[in-house]
Amino acid sequence: MAQVIYGSEVSKDIRAQLSEQMEALRGAGARMPKLAVILVGNNPASLSYVTGKEKACAQVGMESELIRLPEATTQDELMAVVRRLNEDPAVDGILCQLPLPRGLDSAQVIREIRPDKDVDGFHPINVGKLYLKEDGFVPCTPLGCMELLHRMGVNPSGKRAVVLGRSNLVGAPVARLLLNENATVTICHSKTENLPQVCAEADILIAAVGRAKMVTAEYVKEGAAVIDVGINRNEQGKLVGDVDFASVEPKAGFITPVPKGVGPMTITMLLKNTLKAYRQHEGE
Ligand SMILES: Nc1nc(=O)c2c([nH]1)NC[C@@H]1CN(c3ccc(C(=O)N[C@@H](CCC(=O)O)C(=O)O)cc3)C=[N+]21
């Protein structure tokens, strides 16, 4: 029987600490940390995530500004908005919600965000710092996965870790964070052979592949820590993870659910990254 670790609960703890820190800043009459979120177009999933980010900022007492741009926004118009936010001393963090509408170049937008305001941790400078173990912004979902592992009391050092998926947003950075904590890391992808057997060697299994319920019990070692990053929607539009929870839960040592697992941690880590940017801008 696995111990189910609710990211929604862990998030409550962390957000309570953030609320206290915001209270202290407000009490001292300081400028408040501010996150600017750019949403281009009307993708309903993006709108729900962005709304969640704004609500979380308000919940802890952080400022946020939502810039909504029409689907037909041009690359130059979008770049101009990013440049304006780069120069705005009241804005600590900038996030451009992905994916962008077809025809817009997200890599160019990400490069335009000032690295010290890149609270997504997607800018090449911050990616490089992660690989060099220097202090920069780490992407929110990978940070959330590591926080959940630490809350499980699972120390990655010396453990076999398998990351299922190699995206720039999740798989690649979380694999690097696990390596930075001295795990022995295997990254699996669509070309990996004997996938279930490779995954079943893992003490720590991170499922970030984007395929609903793909990970069943045969992919899981008895007692392993399983972290489900999946954000798939089933035919009824219900949020479903990459892990088949019913099949894996009896065998795993720890497991995170979807929803109420990694998702809320992603938002909470975004708040922490925004406070980190604020502290750097305030010269603390
Ligand atoms: N520039 C950028 N940065 C991102 O961090 C980013 C992005 N673009 N594009 C999309 C992904 C996805 N993402 C999630 C955020 C919160 C939940 C979340 O809170 N999920 C809740 C459920 C929310 C619901 O019910 O819809 C849960 O899992 O319990 C999930 C996914 C951030 N993303």
Q: Write the CATH number for 36.
A: 3.40.50.10860
Same domain, 179 and 238: yes
Same domain, 165 and 66: no
Question: Per-residue DSSP letters for 53-94?
Answer: HHHHHHHHT-EEEEEEE-TT--HHHHHHHHHHHHH-TT--EE
Per the annotation, the verdict on 97 as an active-site residue is: yes
pLDDT score at 1:
86
Residue 239 CA to ligand 1 center (angstroms) comes to 11
Same domain, 59 and 161: no
Question: Per-residue DSSP letters for 8-21?
Answer: HHHHHHHHHHHHHH
At 50, which amino acid appears?
A: V
pLDDT score at 207:
98
Same domain, 166 and 82: no
Establish if 25 belongs to a structural domain: no
Q: Calculate the CA dihedral of residues 163, 164, 170, 172 and round it to 10 degrees.
A: 60
- Dist. CA 215–CA 122, nearest whole Å: 27
pLDDT score at 124:
98
Strand pairing report for 184-188 and 34-40: unpaired
Residue 116 CA to ligand 1 center (angstroms) comes to 22
Q: pTM for the complete prediction?
A: 0.97
The one catalytic residue among 92, 116, 118, 120: 120
CB 34 within 8 A of CB 90: yes
Same domain, 110 and 149: no
Domain that holds residue 161: 140-263
Same domain, 147 and 222: yes
Establish if 280 belongs to a structural domain: no
pLDDT score at 284:
81
Q: Decide: 120 in ligand 1 pocket, CB within 6 A.
A: yes
Q: Decide: 98 in ligand 1 pocket, CB within 6 A.
A: yes
**Which residue owns the Cα nearest ligand 1 atom 2?**
97
Establish if 5 belongs to a structural domain: no
Same domain, 172 and 91: no
Q: How many domains, in total, are found in the chain?
A: 2
Per the annotation, the verdict on 76 as an active-site residue is: no
Same domain, 250 and 162: yes
Establish if 185 belongs to a structural domain: yes
pLDDT score at 84:
98
Block means of pLDDT (10 residues each) for the chain, 284 residues, are: 96 98 97 98 94 97 98 98 98 98 97 98 98 97 98 97 96 98 97 97 98 98 98 93 98 98 98 98 91
Same domain, 150 and 241: yes
Residue 263 CA to ligand 1 center (angstroms) comes to 6
- Dist. CA 227–CA 10, nearest whole Å: 14
Hey, which residues does 64 pair with through a beta bridge?
Answer: 35
User: Does the predicted interface ipTM exceed a cut of 0.95?
Assistant: yes
Same domain, 251 and 169: yes
